[in-house]
Amino acid sequence: MSRFCRFCGKELKNPQARFCPACGCQLAPTGPPDTGTLEQPRLVIRAPGQPLREVDLDQAAFAIGRKPDNDVVLSLDYVSGHHGRLEQRTTAWHYLDLGSLNGTFVNGQRVQSAVLRDGDILRIGDPQGNSVSLTFRAAGAAGVPVPAPSPIRMGATALGMKTSLLIGRNPQADIPLPAPIVSWHHARLDQYLDAGAQGHVLTDLNSTNGTFVNGQRLVRPHLLQQGDVVQIGPFRLVYEATGFQQYT
């Protein structure tokens, strides 16, 4: 029997896959859960159009960048040739940005350096919303590397009497997206009703860095379809009838 990703619909060729190779989303387990722990720290890398990749941190330092002489090569235009460096210092891992063009964000905040903790997400991207994420997993952490995506519900219960939802960096927004490259009032989601059918129309509110649907920048309001991928800054949201699925 064929198995499909419930988030993007892609057929899964590996029946034991834990993550979708197309969207990187964690899949429902097919057997008993993995209760083991990681013997050494690890990076879990998600890049657009590429299968999920895991790199064991089995040496004291790792260079990260676009050029092939790096320990972790990210062949993406928005990654600098020598973008950053991971170093183990005593018992902790440290990240250092090497003066990259587009910078490095850790858990949504741009940093020059950071001490990493289990589950921290490093993100490298461009103003158009393209990005690659590197999730740090510490030694001794649970074997499943990345938590399941969290849903952002937009059904009748969540909407209440509202017919529109504000999306932006403003913490009071209906859907807050805390990242520096997200505008304060970035986009608006309006309820759409037509002959009994219900959906949502997405409108960009003249944001600085734009709103993208399926890789295309919005220039006019867009009626969302099931499975549409919305990119706002470092946030990737998949539209479903009942809401967004957000994952890193």
The region of weakest confidence among 181-195, 200-214, 227-241 is: 227-241
Query: What's the pLDDT score for residue 62?
Result: 96
Q: In the numeric block, which tokens belong to residue 35?
A: 């209760």
Over range 110-130, report the average pLDDT. 86
Distance between CA atoms of residues 239 and 200, nearest Å: 9
Burial per residue of 12-42, b for 16 or more beta-carbon CB atoms within 10 angstroms, e otherwise: beeeeebbbbbbbbbbeeeeeeeeeebeebb
Q: How does residue 111 score in pLDDT terms, banded at 50, 70 and 90?
A: very high
**pLDDT tens track for 5-49:** 544 455 667 666 666 555 455 555 554 444 456 678 889 888 766
Distance between CA atoms of residues 130 and 232, nearest Å: 9
* In the predicted structure, residue 179 carries a pLDDT above the cut 80: no
Q: Where in the chain is the domain with CATH 2.60.200.20?
A: 34-137, 150-247
Query: What's the pLDDT score for residue 112?
Result: 96
Query: What's the pLDDT score for residue 214?
Result: 84
**pLDDT tens track for 61-80:** 999 999 999 999 999 999 99
- CATH code for the part of the protein at 34-137: 2.60.200.20
Among the four given CATH numbers 1.10.8.420, 2.60.40.10, 3.30.390.50, 2.60.200.20, the one describing domain 150-247: 2.60.200.20
Helix (H) or strand (E) holding 20: none
Distance between CA atoms of residues 187 and 193, nearest Å: 19
Over range 139-146, report the average pLDDT. 56
Over range 118-123, report the average pLDDT. 88
CA distance readout (Å), 217 to 164, 208, 220: 21, 12, 9
Q: How does residue 1 score in pLDDT terms, banded at 50, 70 and 90?
A: very low
Over range 75-103, report the average pLDDT. 94
Q: Is the pTM value of this prediction over 0.75?
A: no
Q: Which of 58-62, 165-169, 192-196 has the highest mean pLDDT?
A: 58-62
Q: In the numeric block, which tokens belong to residue 148?
A: 């399941």
Q: Does residue 142 or residue 80 have the better pLDDT?
A: 80
* In the predicted structure, residue 178 carries a pLDDT above the cut 50: yes
Query: What's the pLDDT score for residue 154?
Result: 54
* In the predicted structure, residue 142 carries a pLDDT above the cut 80: no
Query: What's the pLDDT score for residue 153?
Result: 52
Distance between CA atoms of residues 154 and 169, nearest Å: 18
The average confidence (pLDDT) of the chain is: 78
Return the percentage of the chain with pLDDT > 90, whole number: 27
